[in-house]
Chains A and B, each alone.
Chain A
């Protein structure tokens, strides 16, 4: 039997800011993990990744990351690395935890 597909989100770093961003359901970008689109099908996730990889003028190094649905029904990270990317460093209150707002993408 094929292994069950772990749901994914698409994440990358913003070209200008370097900040972590996530693909949303309407094809725009957000800085919040919880606003990312959760892909439940592998084929759909991979197709979306291939599509956005052509937009290198916006972001750098897109990839699929494991996610799960939290108690609030929104996606949350599975691995601790994604947790840190979604929050910011633990030694200072810098990065995402200090400044969350949606990225304006042209």
Chain B
């Protein structure tokens, strides 16, 4: 994986020293909160409901065991012994004390990590497919491109004060696991004529108050042109994006208000000019980065132990069936470690669990770890022979939940249990859903289903693109949950639709039970997923299930 150059290291250390000084000045009263706030946000430090929160960037979700051990150490020394992995492939610590934060940042710098640009109106942590470098459907590993963008965007002088925050996601596969269509810019590797690899560029996707699916602004961009093209988009946005209204400041609104064609013309003009300033730099850099992401050497290992355990141990078999994905090397598997135990907090891992994961990666999985935007942990390169041992160890650490892609594999933002912006809680809703459907033993029968929960309209929990989305609101001083149906985060992206009024916390779980009962009754067969069924029938039968009273009245 990419290791910091001396330049990166010196830059990060200098930022820590600078922030230490700023914290000292805030504490001794030389800086007011008004002066300090933008500075702390630039270093990923928020003030939340009960405490400060430090958001640490995990570029394109890639970690090694050393870094994971250090996150565990930080959680133990300066927090309450756990961390929260987020939908932006970051980790958040929920309980740091102000005076300790510079030490936390120093500890991060020791393992080439930081919290820079995890907040503020700049280009945020670049995210990528969590199966990068391992998936069998991959055109190319998206991480060299993501790393190129990380280097280019970090401290980019022109783009530190954009109209609003800016999020880029990169996918290297036709199957989109990086939600590229819901980002300000989505980049997808594609093959052009003559099998040359390039990028499809999407622009103007985003969730939040005005959810929009990104539009293709370039169907094929040669790889050499990536940075000048990015600069062109950012420049046009920086100059023309709205600064008068925070809710209209994202690039999606610019795309919407200006029109794709007009914007495209502006970007192309800018691109022609910028391109002259980038004579091949891009390509040379990308080549050197490719070497950092060279795949590990996979050896042909004996996998009879794996086959044997599969036949003998039903728990192991179930876990394999849900938590493994095909690796491009048939001797290996991609393992997803679920951070969604029944009634647990989605995305949370204790320091001990982080250490278990780090040790497993180091001993059995080529020292690679990924964080997925779905708030799980991935071991991307696992020789099948080691799977039984890995499963045993995960079981002992409470990490062997076999539920990937099922109803309890819920995305949930921190909501009003932590977040100062929240309008309602999301975690307890996720906990109740996973508990209830576990009691009902319906999870496997229901099959593939993505529930995504946000605690406010900002949509960090991606509720718009959940097959079932849940949005927590404050209705006259009571928590109220609005449902959306039919959302999709993949290459067939769609924004979910609201079937009707929201539900109180008590009404919500029974409503979901009715909804899923209806699905089980009307689906064509056990193979028709909830989303397929919704697409085939539209929302009417689901509406009737959710609102039986109004259906009866209408009849």
Taking Cβ atoms with an 8 Å cutoff, the residues of A that contact B are 13, 15-20, 56-57, 60-61, 78-81, 84-85, 88-92, 94-96
The A-B contact count (CB < 8 A) is: 72
Contact assessment for B33 and A89 in the assembled complex, using a CB-CB cutoff below 8 Å: no
Known: A80-B477, A91-B431, A94-B80. A18 touches B417 (CB 8 A): no
Contact assessment for B95 and A90 in the assembled complex, using a CB-CB cutoff below 8 Å: no
Q: How far is the CA of A86 from the CA of B97 in the complex (A)?
A: 19
Q: Distance (Å) between the CB of A12 and the closest chain B CB?
A: 10
Contact assessment for B48 and A15 in the assembled complex, using a CB-CB cutoff below 8 Å: no
Contact assessment for A19 and B478 in the assembled complex, using a CB-CB cutoff below 8 Å: no
Contact assessment for B33 and A56 in the assembled complex, using a CB-CB cutoff below 8 Å: yes
Judge whether B356 is part of the interface by a CB distance below 8 angstroms: no
Q: How far is the CA of A79 from the CA of B424 in the complex (A)?
A: 11
Judge whether B49 is part of the interface by a CB distance below 8 angstroms: yes
A13: chain B residues within 8 A (beta carbon): 47
Q: How far is the CA of A15 from the CA of B427 in the complex (A)?
A: 27
| Nearest chain A residue, comparing its CB with the CB of B345 | A91
Q: Distance (Å) between the CB of B81 and the closest chain A CB?
A: 10
> 23 A-B Cβ contacts within 8 A?
A13-B47, A15-B27, A15-B98, A16-B27, A16-B98, A17-B51, A18-B95, A18-B97, A18-B98, A19-B51, A20-B50, A56-B29, A57-B29, A79-B477, A81-B474, A85-B50, A88-B50, A89-B427, A91-B417, A91-B428, A95-B50, A95-B51, A96-B50
Judge whether B416 is part of the interface by a CB distance below 8 angstroms: yes
Q: How far is the CA of A95 from the CA of B422 in the complex (A)?
A: 18
Q: How far is the CA of A106 from the CA of B325 in the complex (A)?
A: 57
B95: chain A residues within 8 A (beta carbon): 18, 94
Q: Distance (Å) between the CB of B418 and the closest chain A CB?
A: 6
Contact assessment for B27 and A56 in the assembled complex, using a CB-CB cutoff below 8 Å: no
Query: In B95-127, which residues have CB < 8 Å from any A CB?
Result: 95-99
Judge whether B479 is part of the interface by a CB distance below 8 angstroms: yes
Contact assessment for A18 and B50 in the assembled complex, using a CB-CB cutoff below 8 Å: yes
Taking Cβ atoms with an 8 Å cutoff, the residues of B that contact A are 26-27, 29, 32-33, 47-52, 80, 95-99, 345, 416-418, 422, 425, 427-428, 431, 474, 477-479
Q: How far is the CA of A20 from the CA of B478 in the complex (A)?
A: 22
B49: chain A residues within 8 A (beta carbon): 20, 81, 84-85
Contact assessment for A60 and B47 in the assembled complex, using a CB-CB cutoff below 8 Å: yes
Q: How far is the CA of A72 from the CA of B98 in the complex (A)?
A: 35
B428: chain A residues within 8 A (beta carbon): 90-91
Report, nearest first, the 4 A-B pairs whose CB atoms are least far apart.
A18-B51, A89-B417, A18-B52, A57-B29
| Nearest chain B residue, comparing its CB with the CB of A84 | B416
Contact assessment for B47 and A61 in the assembled complex, using a CB-CB cutoff below 8 Å: yes
A84: chain B residues within 8 A (beta carbon): 49, 416-417, 425
Q: Contacting B425 at CB < 8 Å: which of A18, A85, A90, A95?
A: A90
Q: Among the interface residues A13, A78, A80, A91, which one has the most CB atoms of the partner chain B within 10 A? A: A91
Q: How far is the CA of A81 from the CA of B428 in the complex (A)?
A: 15
Q: How far is the CA of A19 from the CA of B97 in the complex (A)?
A: 9
Extra inter-chain contacts (9) besides given A17-B51, A92-B345, CB under 8 Å: A16-B98, A20-B49, A57-B29, A60-B33, A61-B33, A81-B49, A89-B50, A89-B427, A91-B427
Q: How far is the CA of A16 from the CA of B27 in the complex (A)?
A: 8
Contact assessment for A56 and B477 in the assembled complex, using a CB-CB cutoff below 8 Å: no
Q: How far is the CA of A90 from the CA of B478 in the complex (A)?
A: 16
A15: chain B residues within 8 A (beta carbon): 26-27, 98
Q: How far is the CA of A20 from the CA of B418 in the complex (A)?
A: 12
Q: How far is the CA of A80 from the CA of B415 in the complex (A)?
A: 13
| Nearest chain A residue, comparing its CB with the CB of B98 | A16
Contact assessment for A81 and B416 in the assembled complex, using a CB-CB cutoff below 8 Å: yes
Contact assessment for B477 and A78 in the assembled complex, using a CB-CB cutoff below 8 Å: yes
A92: chain B residues within 8 A (beta carbon): 80, 345
Q: How far is the CA of A20 from the CA of B49 in the complex (A)?
A: 8
Known: A84-B416, A94-B80. A19 touches B477 (CB 8 A): no
A89: chain B residues within 8 A (beta carbon): 50, 417-418, 427
B431: chain A residues within 8 A (beta carbon): 91
Q: How far is the CA of A79 from the CA of B475 in the complex (A)?
A: 11
Q: Distance (Å) between the CB of A90 and the closest chain B CB?
A: 5
| Nearest chain A residue, comparing its CB with the CB of B53 | A18
Q: Distance (Å) between the CB of A78 and the closest chain B CB?
A: 7
Q: How far is the CA of A94 from the CA of B82 in the complex (A)?
A: 12
Contact assessment for B477 and A90 in the assembled complex, using a CB-CB cutoff below 8 Å: no
Q: How far is the CA of A7 from the CA of B474 in the complex (A)?
A: 21
Q: Among the interface residues B49, B50, B96, B417, which one has the most CB atoms of the partner chain A within 10 A? A: B50
Contact assessment for B51 and A80 in the assembled complex, using a CB-CB cutoff below 8 Å: no
B50: chain A residues within 8 A (beta carbon): 18-20, 85, 88-89, 94-96
Q: Distance (Å) between the CB of A92 and the closest chain B CB?
A: 8
B345: chain A residues within 8 A (beta carbon): 91-92
Contact assessment for A90 and B427 in the assembled complex, using a CB-CB cutoff below 8 Å: yes
Q: Among the interface residues B32, B48, B51, B96, which one has the most CB atoms of the partner chain A within 10 A? A: B51
Q: How far is the CA of A85 from the CA of B427 in the complex (A)?
A: 16
Q: How far is the CA of A95 from the CA of B50 in the complex (A)?
A: 7
Contact assessment for A90 and B479 in the assembled complex, using a CB-CB cutoff below 8 Å: no
| Nearest chain A residue, comparing its CB with the CB of B346 | A91
A96: chain B residues within 8 A (beta carbon): 50
A94: chain B residues within 8 A (beta carbon): 50, 80, 95
A60: chain B residues within 8 A (beta carbon): 33, 47
Contact assessment for B51 and A16 in the assembled complex, using a CB-CB cutoff below 8 Å: no
A90: chain B residues within 8 A (beta carbon): 417, 425, 427-428
B96: chain A residues within 8 A (beta carbon): 18
A78: chain B residues within 8 A (beta carbon): 477
